[in-house]
Amino acid sequence: MAVQKITIENFLELAQQYPILDVRSPGEYVHAHIPGAYSLPLFTDEERKVVGTAYKQESREKAIKLGLDYFGVKMRKMVEETESIIGNREKSKKGNETEAKNILVHCWRGGMRSAGVAWLLDLYGFKVYTLTGGYKAYRQWARAQFEKKYNFTILGGYTGSGKTLVLHELKKAGQAMVDLEGLAIHKGSAFGGLEGEPQPTQEMFENLLANELVEACRLSASTNDNSSPDFDSVIYLEDESQRIGLLNIPNALWDTMRNSRIVFIDIPFEERLNYLVQAYGKFDKEKLVNAIIRIQKRLGGLETKIAVNHLLENNYKECFRVLLKYYDKWYSKGLLNRENVEGLLNKVTCDSVDVKTITNILINEKATA
């Protein structure tokens, strides 16, 4: 068998069946990687630095010799780790022996690191594919996904309308959707990071988002020209600010979202307030206070003081009432700050935050739109 170099499109197609080995350093992988890829570093972060310095300051030959010193003692372990990765996948997916011998490998530029590991695995008996251009080619592919024109339906509604839950109910019903807040690990408000899980880097968020858009397109419809979605299909997204916590929705995708059709779920204020109390009242009081203080400049000193005092007195409902009025005001401003908002906006009135009922209304509304 010979190592085969393939394009990013072919690489991602094969990744539906075979595992990806990212042979960059641990630090590069942690910063961002192709979703689903396994880390199998050829060099540690320090070793990569040493080899890179030798390449720049001495010669290519010196760098290769240093690399071989590091690589030689790791060869057996890398082969065994690859066998373990494939073995575990085979058990979980019940793959056959032919599939188990296929592996995808990439480094940063598709250079010496991936070539070295590919040579080793090929020598051992794996069928190895390497990515032309490496991870850099993947990043170019990912950014290109945001430039495409999608047929989005934006799921709007004031805070406390259960929009994220509705998105996932739509998915259960076979509808295509992308959960931006889920990918960003943030709920898009002052309380967005209360559950403590850190957000991904901007680069990793973009990688996850690009992959999700492609998956949503596969689910929603076939393509007309293998590059743009069929406009008879719909992908649901939640109405968001461009900034979600510390992360930003890429500009081109944001522009498409702002010019997409909006279905606004209109639920009474008191119903949404009760929903928020139930959803957020379980969190640590100190964290809630800190979250309120973070929006003090926009909320205003007096309203901040009133909200915090209510919270300290265990009056969650009145605390959230203050905050909900604030978020309704800011959401209205963002909603209406669109060109041709009247032509994009479709209102759906619901009596309560009943996720299944709202989902059924949306699916029926889509069918008659």
Give the span between the Cα atoms of 229 and 223, in whole angstroms: 5
131 forms beta bridges with: 6
Cα 149 to its chain centre, rounded Å, is: 19
> CB of 137 within 8 A of CB of 47?
no
- Pairing outcome for strands 4-6 and 102-106: unpaired
Residue type, 13: E
How, if at all, do strands 243-244 and 247-248 pair?
Answer: antiparallel
> Does residue 229 sit in helix, strand or coil?
strand
What would the DSSP string read from start to end of 70-119?
HHHTTHHHHHHHHHHHHHHHHHHHT--HHHHTEEEEE-SSSSHHHHHHHH
**DSSP calls for 22-49:** E-S-HHHHHH---TTPEE--SS-HHHHH
Residue 65, number of CB atoms within 10 A of its CB: 13
- Quick one: which of 361, 300, 285, 358 has its CA closest to 330? 300
Distance separating alpha carbons of residues 34 and 270, to the nearest angstrom:
43
Task: Tell me if residue 217 is catalytic.
Answer: no
For residue 219, give the nearest of 156, 183, 172 by alpha carbon. 172
Among 157, 178, 179, smallest CA distance to 220 is for: 178
Please name which of 156, 80, 214 lies closest in space to residue 341, comparing C-alpha atoms. 156
Q: How far is 151 from 164, CA to CA, in rounded Å?
A: 19
**Tokens read off for 244:** 């979600």
Active site residues: 107
